[in-house]
Structure 1
């Protein structure tokens, strides 16, 4: 026999628990980016999340568990990157600009996580591998797409990986310069996307 009232209550509780979990992660993300791993105590995390400290430990065994969960956010990007290469493009430059916009946007969305990685790289060497996963995934996805163009005769041999690495590195540096060292690049982001795409294409054409 079904019990809709009970199921509704359980479903509502599940949503409430998920919301609490997200508040804890959001608070931890903010505090760790500002104060580092040590400075973001579970007490401060619980206060900012609006829950008691016991609730934090109920959702995550310890602070390392919170950090691990936060770092997982960096790795889940392949589908979004591939979507940035889908659709009808007038030419290769338009496709590159679209990809640059998608990739840079993912970096900005995760900037707090990246700051945590930078702060904790010495104390937790394992985060370096997770830290590098986003740019390296971006290189791989773009390289695979450029390989298709190469096989169709539109790009010279041995270009795809090198071109993808140079292209992705441009935006990773721009991101780090802006959000890590507060360097003014004197260029709006869309202009950077356009210019980097054009420079890459000119370099590729010069190899033919």
Structure 2
């Protein structure tokens, strides 16, 4: 399955159909890791005609008043798509009290409350977050520190992938986006990324 993952930066070539557009033919699912205008997700949904699953980032302040059309918020939910079990966790570490900011304890509690669903379906294949796990591609400033509890989630359930945004970086090669924790590939999807699963 070909998945288009987007995060943090609007890429006009994805929303428009012209000669410089990235090859998104055959995409079956779009996942947003947050900090994108709802109108952008609506455009991607309409252009491709495929489902769009999203979590919100710490700058997504308009989603409650104007959610993206035809898209599904998967924060604190487990959803299935063509047999792939997907878990979403929105937001960043708390740093100034803005929207979609959580303490480590709050995020750990969100994960704890999902334990029965995770047990019932016998794990997950893809975790979608806005922030990265702590010490895996994150930064040291209060806003961009990752969540320690994401490391525990990965170690316990061993999903194939954890997809995140939040850390703005330019990559010369897609291999620079990827970190490994046990059996899990942790991928910074800043801008856009094609995941083949």
- TM-score between both structures, scaled by the size of structure 2: 0.25
Structure label with greater radius of gyration: 1
Q: Which one scores higher on RCO, CA 8 angstroms, separation ≥ 6? A: 2
- TM-score between both structures, scaled by the size of structure 1: 0.24
Higher helix share: 1
Higher strand share: 2
